[in-house]
Chains A and B, each alone.
Chain A
Amino acid sequence: MIIEKLLLKLRERYSLTEQEVELLTSSMTETAEFGSGGTIAPQYEKINFCSLLIDGFACRSKVTVDGDRQIMEISIPGDFVDLHSYPLEQLDHSVTAISDCRIVKLPHQRLSEVIDKSTRLARILWFSTMVDASIHREWLVNIGQRRAAQRAAHLLCEMLYRLRVVEMTDDDSYEFPLTQNDLASSLALTSVHVSRVLKELRGKDLVSFRNKRVIIPDQEKLERFAGFDPQFLYLEARHG
């Protein structure tokens, strides 16, 4: 099923009826593919559909007039990269493919119909944009207050939790296609600094890297080091 990862993500928090699943599934239209670096959703252009990521990693980012890029969130399969484009009609940031990506479109018109037919689904989708906002807040704290090695550790913990929900982890490891430059843009560091930080984490046996996979031998130890508390991801079952 094309929205399988989305359903895993939603069902982590809510039970869904067959009708709700059918309504969501039937509202999706065509798929589109993007190569690494491709623009999935451009900044400040009118847009009339939302993109659900079904394959690959993407990111929300903005670029300063000097050409420096800040990534605000990493999107993984099961994430709508731009659900907020529905009320906003255009994005204040771009969405870019980090690895090769595949998305399926949910036209805004169809989303209006979903909302009209099911206020419960509307609430659930609203919830998911609120979790994005929570992730953005956590990232502000990350780049504003944590020291460099903790920033990287914190992001690696976050990805572990989120990827686990969509069944993309393997015991203690997961695929992580970000380059050093992507990490630098995510952590408000520079690329060489990221190499140094990753070396520090490896030296402390907190994490290792093999073939674009992150391996976390002792999750609790990494979380303690990062000062990580997963509550900002709102992973528990919810009422309603």
Chain B
Amino acid sequence: MAQFYFDLLNGSGLTLDEDGVQLPDLGAAHSRAMREARSIMSHEVLEGELDLRSEIIVREGERERLRLRFWEALQVRSAEEEGEKTRDDH
């Protein structure tokens, strides 16, 4: 188990995670970051303004372990695009 911190970088700057959470490994941290991103995006969609440039930065102490851009957490199908743009989250 390790203590992971999940910071949010978006249009209003960097919001630091002060509490952190105990997780077994980086894989679990990645899953959690995905879930965080999707949850925030779902509420942004409800309010009619989605910012896909936001990022979640996962730290262990001071050390950055991974960075998840919001668009990486979504599969988007759009009529404007030829074919499908898909991103696998696993």
**Interface on A for B, CB 8 Å cutoff?**
147-148, 179-181, 189-193, 195-196, 199-200, 203
**Interface on B for A, CB 8 Å cutoff?**
6-8, 10, 12, 15-19, 21, 35-36, 39-40, 43, 46-47, 56
- Check if A193 sits within 8 Å of B17, measured CB to CB: no
Taking CB atoms, residues of chain B closer than 8 Å to A199 are 12, 15
**A147 to B46 alpha-carbon distance, docked (Å):** 9
**A196 to B37 alpha-carbon distance, docked (Å):** 12
- Check if A147 sits within 8 Å of B47, measured CB to CB: yes
A168 to chain B, nearest CB (A): 23
Q: Which of A147, A180, A181 has the most CB of B within 10 A?
A: A180
- Check if B21 sits within 8 Å of A191, measured CB to CB: yes
- Check if B17 sits within 8 Å of A191, measured CB to CB: yes
Quick one: closest A residue to B7, CB to CB? A192
- Check if A193 sits within 8 Å of B43, measured CB to CB: yes
- 14 pairs, A vs B, C-beta closer than 8 Å: A147-B43, A181-B19, A190-B36, A190-B39, A191-B21, A192-B8, A192-B36, A192-B40, A192-B56, A193-B40, A195-B15, A196-B8, A196-B10, A199-B15
Query: What 4 pairs across the A-B complex have the smallest Cβ distances?
Result: A192-B36, A190-B39, A190-B36, A195-B15
A-B contact count (CB 8 A): 46
One of A179, A193, A200, A203 near B36 (C-beta < 8 A)? A193
A183 to chain B, nearest CB (A): 10
One of A147, A181, A190 near B35 (C-beta < 8 A)? A190
Quick one: closest B residue to A189, CB to CB? B39
Taking CB atoms, residues of chain B closer than 8 Å to A193 are 36, 39-40, 43
**A192 to B37 alpha-carbon distance, docked (Å):** 8
**A211 to B10 alpha-carbon distance, docked (Å):** 26
One of B17, B35, B46 near A180 (C-beta < 8 A)? B17
- Check if B17 sits within 8 Å of A148, measured CB to CB: no
**A56 to B6 alpha-carbon distance, docked (Å):** 28
- Check if A148 sits within 8 Å of B15, measured CB to CB: no
B59 to chain A, nearest CB (A): 12
